Amino acid sequence: MKLALILEAKLDRPWLEKQLGRGNPTVEKIIDTDPSDGAFYKWLTQLYKTHGTDDFLKPQLKQDLEEWINSFQAIKNAGLSSDLNNKDLDYFLETLEKTREYKATQASRKRLSGVHYLGKEYHGAKVLLDDGTFKLFKVEGTSPEAVNALAKLGIGTAWCTRIGADKEMGSSYLAKSPQYVLYKNRKPLYQFDDYSFKDVDNENCTISIDAIRALASNGKFVDDVINSPYNKKLGELCKIIKSFSDLDDMSPLEMSELASDYTGRWLEAEPHIIKHPVAAALYAKYNIKGSWPEAEASIMSDSKAAEIYAKMLPRLRECVSTFTVGGLDRQVKIIWKEYRRDRDNVKVVSYEFVDGLPPVQLDLEEVEFEAIQNSTHYSRWDQVS
């Protein structure tokens, strides 16, 4: 609702005097408190009658009402009601506070959406890296500026240091260790310190290879993390990547070993990794976590690589078995997935009756047991596929 619409509904002095009595000093106080010259007369009169006193009619309330008028769109956008009819003073103050929080969050998001979102607003945070894609912030110390910077950098995440979370958590984390926040394409990606590594859902995670490459480009950052208890591995990986001027200097096995410590695909390295069958099989297992059709010709050229690859991939198998149901022997087709690992690594996909009689419900444990009994044991696998 805009101010013009508010003013259309305003009341006047005669209405107030009719409600409160001519000569009542509260009439003047309400007129003085309402910044809109009448739009809030009805609500202020309701409060006066409810409280039985006009002690609440203070200069601060007039300022709050002015803020309320200027915040109508924000109140609506925040999903709050701007209708004060029959609402008490607590509702007004709580709604105004929620609106302030909403506006502060929106303002922070707006700052974060720009290329230069750090700027002067982020006192307490240092930019260690900015390559156009990744931006790394370091926040240290427990000053209000540092806590505030860490909170702003967490907007849009589930981190317990973000804006809207417990402010004490930010101070607690910063008291233990400097906090690093990594952005990608102007959006938060990871928050980490000497003890933990979190994704935007606040889950423990490992860092992607492309992020490692970006971090490795900053020698100061590598020096900062190399000796920390938790991030020693990260520091070492950064140092390894930094030491290679070109991917051709790193062997495919070194690449796959490096990639296996972290999640996701390392697209720049794949043309190199694919040249080595074992490296390709390990990369498919740990990074792709599934089949890698482009690399299968290379993988199948080496027996060890083919074995690694085959163990990782399930294959569908089926059998027809006899189950006794209600005294009758029934023919049932079972389909399952099995891996080339051990006899018990079997997952039933489905079963169906193939004897033409009406189907019935079977005990799934019995079906799974039958599938296991008919599965291909590791020692009896003669071929890869």
136 lies in some domain: yes
- Domain-ending residue, one of 241, 275, 293: 241
pTM to 2 decimal places: 0.48
Residue pair 323/352 in contact (Cβ under 8 Å)? The answer is no
Residues 103 and 181 in one domain: no
Tell me the residue type at 319: C
Write 60-64 long-range contacts (CB < 8 A, 24+).
Answer: 61/33, 62/32, 62/33, 62/34, 62/35, 64/92, 64/93, 64/96
Per-residue pLDDT of the chain (385 residues; tens, 9 = 90+): 344 434 445 678 888 889 888 889 999 999 999 888 788 888 899 888 888 888 888 889 988 888 888 887 788 877 888 888 888 888 889 988 888 887 777 665 544 433 334 444 456 788 888 888 898 888 999 988 889 889 889 888 899 998 877 778 989 999 988 899 999 988 899 998 877 888 888 888 778 878 888 888 887 778 777 777 667 777 777 777 777 666 667 788 888 877 777 677 888 788 889 999 999 998 898 888 888 999 999 999 999 999 888 887 777 889 999 999 988 999 999 998 876 554 457 788 899 999 999 999 999 989 988 888 887 653 344 444 3
Residues 319 and 305 in one domain: no
Q: How far apart are CA 385 and CA 380, in angstroms?
A: 13
- Position 348 scores a pLDDT of 87
359 lies in some domain: yes
DSSP code at position 57: -
113 lies in some domain: no
User: What residues form DSSP beta bridges with 135?
Assistant: 130, 183
Q: How far apart are CA 30 and CA 292, in angstroms?
A: 75
- Domain-ending residue, one of 77, 108, 139: 108
Residues 130 and 97 in one domain: no
115 lies in some domain: no
Q: How far apart are CA 177 and CA 139, in angstroms?
A: 9
DSSP code at position 21: -
Q: How far apart are CA 296 and CA 321, in angstroms?
A: 35
Residues 271 and 320 in one domain: no
- Domain-ending residue, one of 293, 312, 331: 312
Residues 347 and 263 in one domain: no
> For residue 342, what are the domain limits?
315-380
- How many C-beta atoms lie closer than 10 Å to residue 186's C-beta? 12
Which tokens hold the place of 173?
């984390």
For 320, 323, 324, 330, the CA distances from 327, given in Å and listed in that order, are 19, 10, 6, 9
Residues 15 and 71 in one domain: yes
